[in-house]
Amino acid sequence: MSPNASYPRLLEPLQLGTKRLRNRVLMGSMHTGLEDSRDLQPLAAYFRERARGGVGLIVTGGFAPNIAGWAKPFAGMLASRSAARRHGVVTRAVHEEGGHIALQILHTGRYAYHPLAVAPTRLKSPISPFTPFELSARGVERQIRAFIRCALLAQEAGYDGVEIMGSEGYLINQFISAATNQRTDDWGGDYSHRMRLPVEIVQRTREAVGPDFILVYRLSMIDLVPGGSRWDEVVTLGKAVAAAGASIINTGIGWHEARIPTIATSVPRAAFAWVTRKLKQEFEAAGISTPLVASNRINTPEVAEQILVEGSADMVSMARPLLADAEFVNKAAQGRAQDINTCIACNQACLDHVFRNERASCLVNPRACRETEIVMRPAAQRKRVAVVGAGPAGITAATWAAERGHDVHLFESSAEIGGQLNMARRVPGKEEFDEMLRYLQRRLDTTGVQVHLNQKATAEDLLPFDEIIVATGVLPRDPRIPGQDHPKVLSYIDVLRNGVTVGPRVAVVGAGGIGFDVAEFLVSAGHSTTLDAQAWRREWGVTDPAEAPGGLAPQGPQPDAPERDVVLLQRRAGKPGAGLGKTTGWIHRTALKMKRVQMIGGVNYERIADQGLLISHGPRREDLQWIECDHVVLCTGQVPLRALADELSAQGRQVHVIGGAREAGELDAKRAIDEAARLACTL
Ligand code: NAP
Ligand code: SF4
């Protein structure tokens, strides 16, 4: 079998002008925070690993062409020759590994999080507190020149090209849309004027950089906002930027202010490839050969190959999957797809970090963006290592330690590995957790860890080991609600793991991550729209942009009726699920609202009885209310399960405690895996 037999289209080279990309994998632009530092060595190390891993074309996170275009104060910018010199370390690293790299030019316009923001019209965006200045005609010209200067500096820095960011609702998109561009001069008015900015930028940049430089144009193909572009406008612009000199057109899906999820884990895989296919058909009919790139929720080589085979695109863009596994392409090429650490699209360590102004990483790969910090070296001395608990923390510690050369035994009291992941994967919209379990099992199989299932390790069992790692996880917290021993009371474990039958009216106590998961599980009728792209589009109100501008269905979201009446409660006042992910919390809240889940905050739990759950409101607790229900499900957080660790410590033995067993508050798989990996590197 030839090495490329499984993914022949994906691994086929692509000629862009005079440059030949080694395959059809584009690492999509993603801000990581590494761009914002003066020291670009960590960025170079991050891209070097992805280039070594076989990526065809890397696109950097966005760099502003000038101060007005900054995403936030002092964000990464390429506007001077001294900055260009600093980028040399990045381009050299990628070229030394046989890769190609383009710099993304990102002008944020009114999305800028600083007071110097500019836009076509003085209209504040819903996602920035700053009202932009309206650009004068000379101001528009200055922005165009800034784009061109940035492209020339990128060329000087050794980049193979640039990506001109024309989508996601940033400056260029703001010019294109009549909703954000209310100008009456040559840059506003009818569509031919509103699209002038991107066409001039591409045309004049091409003239400046010459024919050999790759120009990627990121075209917003479906805006997903009111007042978004019509399909004929998208096609007109696509053809115009191709004619103006774009080497390849990348797909943009949805403005940042859109209220439709576009990349979250509950979005079906390749959910928007059909939009790129529509444009491809238009290009083919017009005899335009400019290649197109599909993007969004493409996370396995199978899905990527399928997109290319069915003719939806000429190349695929993946960003997060390459954070999750720098070796993605090589593994696919070597017929080792089962070894790929699959991105589960959780956003927890990548985009959630970036939106909190922290450096990105990856939940399933803590080395992402920390390539110079977390380094796995062979162990100086082979030790016998015992790991207790086969959840994400325990498996990561075990496999990393084994990979370093230790003799590792993993003890698990239950019959299966995975711990809490086995519950998460049952929640509709969280099917990607199956991939995480698949990968963890594969790692156990390939690193030589000796796994002992159905074995509750005792302190005595652990006597022969040099190192003991306790990753025994958590127990549900006892909320001590009067009447909680009533038969109608269940725990989330009963619902998500034990398959207990739940009645039609349910009160869920606790609105953290697990309370939301349980509520989503209960309202869905065993049908996950994540696995049914058409149903998902109907649920969220996405339609063909040829039928409605921006692709927003005129009838709005059409969710299926909920399977149960669910009330979700928390003691804290304020918005439920405030602790959920920064970029995904709104999706969970919207999904539950669409299923008519009633969310009530600021309550006290008085008692549980035949009638249901009695709550009170306010500090004086006199305002009583019965939540009549068949079941009450407790999702009131968790406490560390540390009995074994305490016993070992009491015997004076040294023990490493990680994950939920160490600290249950704010526990999530991200911290558990990160702690485990770092510990394993020190043994
Ligand atoms: P959690 O997020 O800490 O939520 C616990 C909930 O229980 C809160 O709503 C809390 O709200 C309530 N609570 C706490 N003590 C209580 C008490 N004594 N009596 C009654 N209610 C009480 O914990 P979790 O839901 O168990 O989730 C565990 C971890 O897994 C979290 O870190 C979570 O982020 C993670 N996780 C994440 C996701 C995700 O989608 N990203 C999904 C599942 C789990 P009040 O105190 O206001 O009542
Ligand atoms: Fe993918 Fe989650 Fe890692 Fe982000 S943190 S790259 S979404 S697995």
Per domain, the residue ranges of the chain are: 14-343, 384-473+643-680, 478-525+561-636
From the CB of 421, is ligand 2 less than 6 Å away?
no
From the CB of 551, is ligand 1 less than 6 Å away?
no
Torsion 638-644-645-649 (CA) sign:
positive
Tokens 């009645």 correspond to 503
Rounded to whole angstroms, the Cα distance separating 560 from 523 reads 10
Contact 273, 294 (CB under 8 A): yes
Q: What angle do CA 48, 170, 176 make, to 5 degrees?
A: 130
From the CB of 515, is ligand 1 less than 6 Å away?
yes
Rounded to whole angstroms, the Cα distance separating 551 from 547 reads 7
pLDDT on residue 4: 56
Rounded to whole angstroms, the Cα distance separating 149 from 105 reads 10
Strand pairing report for 603-609 and 612-617: antiparallel
pLDDT on residue 367: 97
φ, ψ dihedrals at 595, nearest 5°: -100, 20
Residues 6+ apart with CB under 8 A from 668: 348, 363, 513
Residue nearest to atom 2 of ligand 2 (CA): 346
Task: Check 7, 46, 111, 170 and give the catalytic one.
Answer: 170
Contact 595, 587 (CB under 8 A): no
What separation in Å is there between the alpha carbon of 577 and the centre of ligand 1? 8
What separation in Å is there between the alpha carbon of 424 and the centre of ligand 2? 16
Residue nearest to atom 1 of ligand 2 (CA): 343
Nearest to 254 by CA among 574, 588, 545, 659: 545
Rounded to whole angstroms, the Cα distance separating 364 from 589 reads 25
Point out the ligand nearest to the CA of residue 326. 2
Rounded to whole angstroms, the Cα distance separating 134 from 139 reads 9
Nearest to 629 by CA among 463, 500, 497, 509: 509
What is the token pair recorded at 671?
């911290």
Strand pairing report for 133-134 and 118-119: parallel
Q: Does domain 14-343 have CATH number 3.20.20.70?
A: yes
From the CB of 266, is ligand 1 less than 6 Å away?
no
β-partners of residue 608 are 613
Residue-wise DSSP of 218-259: EEEEE--STTPPPHHHHHHHHHHHHHHT-SEEEEEES-TT-S
* Mean pLDDT of successive 10-residue stretches along the chain, which has 683 residues: 74 96 98 93 97 98 97 94 97 98 98 96 95 97 98 98 98 97 97 98 98 98 96 98 98 96 97 98 98 98 98 98 98 97 97 93 97 94 98 98 98 96 95 97 98 97 96 96 97 96 97 96 91 97 97 96 97 90 94 97 96 92 94 96 95 95 82 96 96
What separation in Å is there between the alpha carbon of 351 and the centre of ligand 2? 8
Contact 349, 670 (CB under 8 A): yes
From the CB of 25, is ligand 2 less than 6 Å away?
no
The atom number, within ligand 1, closest to the CA of 492 reads 26
Pick from 350, 480, 484, 570 the residue to mutate for probing ligand 1's pocket: most ligand atoms within 8 Å of its CB.
570
Give the single-character DSSP code of 2: -
Rounded to whole angstroms, the Cα distance separating 129 from 126 reads 8
Residue 230: half-sphere exposure toward Cβ, Cα within 13 Å: 7
Residues 6+ apart with CB under 8 A from 346: 265, 363, 432, 581, 584
Sheet order of strands, 450-452 included: 450-452, 407-411, 384-388, 467-470, 656-657
What is the token pair recorded at 680?
């394993």
φ, ψ dihedrals at 285, nearest 5°: -65, -30
The CATH H-level (homologous superfamily) assignment of domain 478-525+561-636 is: FAD/NAD(P)-binding domain (3.50.50.60)
φ, ψ dihedrals at 566, nearest 5°: -120, 135
| Amino acid code (one letter) for 428 | P
From the CB of 592, is ligand 2 less than 6 Å away?
no
From the CB of 17, is ligand 1 less than 6 Å away?
no
What separation in Å is there between the alpha carbon of 169 and the centre of ligand 1? 34
Q: Is 170 a catalytic residue?
A: yes
Rounded to whole angstroms, the Cα distance separating 398 from 577 reads 33
φ, ψ dihedrals at 443, nearest 5°: -65, -40
Point out the ligand nearest to the CA of residue 267. 2
Per-residue CA distances from 150 to 99, 144, 168 (Å): 21, 10, 20
Rounded to whole angstroms, the Cα distance separating 346 from 584 reads 8
From the CB of 319, is ligand 2 less than 6 Å away?
no
Rounded to whole angstroms, the Cα distance separating 40 from 76 reads 10
Contact 143, 132 (CB under 8 A): no
β-partners of residue 183 are none
The atom number, within ligand 2, closest to the CA of 361 reads 5
Point out the ligand nearest to the CA of residue 638. 1
pLDDT on residue 620: 84
Residue-wise DSSP of 535-549: HHHHHHTB--TTTSG
The CATH H-level (homologous superfamily) assignment of domain 384-473+643-680 is: NAD(P)-binding Rossmann-like Domain (3.40.50.720)
Per-residue CA distances from 453 to 288, 411, 458 (Å): 59, 6, 14
Residue-wise DSSP of 562-610: PSSEEEEE-SSSS-TTTTS-TTTHHHHHHHHHHTT-EEE-SEEEEEEET
pLDDT on residue 3: 46
The pTM of the full predicted model, rounded to 2 decimals, is 0.95
Strand pairing report for 214-222 and 598-600: unpaired
From the CB of 582, is ligand 1 less than 6 Å away?
no
3-state secondary structure of 119: strand
What separation in Å is there between the alpha carbon of 651 and the centre of ligand 2? 40
Point out the ligand nearest to the CA of residue 508. 1
Nearest to 543 by CA among 228, 85, 189: 228
| Amino acid code (one letter) for 346 | C
Rounded to whole angstroms, the Cα distance separating 615 from 481 reads 11
What separation in Å is there between the alpha carbon of 442 and the centre of ligand 2? 19
From the CB of 631, is ligand 2 less than 6 Å away?
no
